[in-house]
Amino acid sequence: MQRLCVFCGSRAGKQAEYAEQTQRLGRLLVARGLGLVFGAGNIGLMGVLADAVLQAGGEAIGVIPQALVDKELAHAGLTQLHVVATMHERKALMADLADGFIALPGGYGTADELFEILTWSQLGLHDKPVGLLNTAGYFSSLLSWLDRTVQDGFIRPHHRSLLIEATDAESLLDQLAQFRRAENPPKWLNDQDR
């Protein structure tokens, strides 16, 4: 892996631990020689992450739609800034630039990005690792729901395992580095599902 795409909030959240873990992840990316790809925001956890990477001497590549640049939300000090027309283009370019993905705490946008990239993995559109940093138990309810989707037959266990989880950045980066996609993964649909 050379670069990781990180999905995270445009707000910092109410717990200091969110920003602390985000800064830690940023420093670890640089220490491990990994570049950052992200949504290019200068606010919230996005800004915290980019600042941590840049302060540690790392590469920070941002991708942002023109509409958000117009609202003065683009980080001004990035290694590279790609301005695109739409949110769809933003997500596609971030996926192309990255060798893996991590979701940190965030809101609707973070959930949208995480689930789209997981769906692409399920469908075999990419074979890159997808991780989730469960800071302060932020995603615990979501993870329980995902387990329920398996129990109730909506997601296969193999596809549930496509989401790598950890409560600390070091462990998550270790797991992402060790990720190997099965050579012949089960199809997401078979004849009994039709």
Q: Decide if 45 is inside a domain.
A: yes
Between the alpha carbon of residue 141 and those of residues 9, 60, 119, 145, 177, the distances in Å are 18, 31, 19, 6, 26
Q: Which helix (H) or strand (E) holds 92?
A: helix 87-97
Structure confidence by residue, pLDDT tens digits, 113-168: 999 999 999 999 999 999 999 999 999 999 999 999 999 999 999 999 999 999 99
**What was the pLDDT predicted at 194?**
43
Percent above pLDDT 90 for the chain: 90
Tell me how many domains the chain contains: 1
pLDDT at 78 over 50: yes
The residue segments making up the domain with residue 32 are 3-178
Q: Decide if 60 is inside a domain.
A: yes
Kind of pairing between the strands at 101-103 and 80-84 = unpaired
Q: Decide if 105 is inside a domain.
A: yes
> What is the Cα–Cα distance from 183 to 158, expressed in whole angstroms?
13
pTM exceeds cut of 0.85 = yes
Phi, psi (5° rounding) for residue 161? -75, -5
> What is the Cα–Cα distance from 151 to 137, expressed in whole angstroms?
22
Q: Decide if 31 is inside a domain.
A: yes
Q: State the CATH number of the domain containing residue 159.
A: 3.40.50.450
